[in-house]
Amino acid sequence: MKTQELFKVLEQNQDKSLLFEYAPNLLVGANYHITEVKHLAVDSIDCGSQADAWKETVIQLWESPKELGKTEYMSVYKALAILNKVGKMKPYDLDAEVKFEYSNATFHTAQLFVNDFEIKENNLIVKLAIEKTDCKAKELCGVSTPHNEKVSESLETVSASAEPCCSPDGNCC
């Protein structure tokens, strides 16, 4: 989900409580706070030596140990006010992908992308999900997967005369 899409959903649901589902049927505690908003510019090189760049908005959620047992969730209105205040100090790239950074005692720190959202009673539930790491240069490097086996076969004939993929002088890292 893009940052502008998140803001649109929040603006349309200001009268609701804001909940986050970080794994199926597991909610961030009602004692959460928005503790940081990061505006990231990623400039990368993948293992196929291909350059890429993108921007992300990362919103950090933290559960306050002093508020354990709290049952009332933050309102969408309050969360939107916090995010709007941040935007006045450091403008958002509204086309940036939005992620939420979260952890608790049983869930490792992760940046989770917004998979979906749901309106249930008086709650806006933002459904988060992990994004698995992946090789962006599978075809270029001849990495075989069930989806690109035919591409891999054709690359084998090309790479038979080329440098091995993982050699220091090869095409891939």
Residue 170 has pLDDT above 70, yes or no: no
Helix (H) or strand (E) holding 56: strand 51-63
Give the residue-averaged pLDDT of 48-71: 95
Q: Are 128 and 111 in contact (CB under 8 A)?
A: no
Kindly report which listed range (38-42, 47-51, 55-59, 152-156) carries the lowest average pLDDT score.
Answer: 152-156
Nearest-angstrom CA–CA distance, 56 and 96: 5
Q: Are 46 and 107 in contact (CB under 8 A)?
A: no
The amino acid sitting at 12 is Q
In the chain, where the domains are located: 3-129, 134-173
Which pLDDT score is estimated for 108? 95
Backbone φ/ψ region at 172: left (φ over 0), alpha (ψ -120 to 50), beta: beta
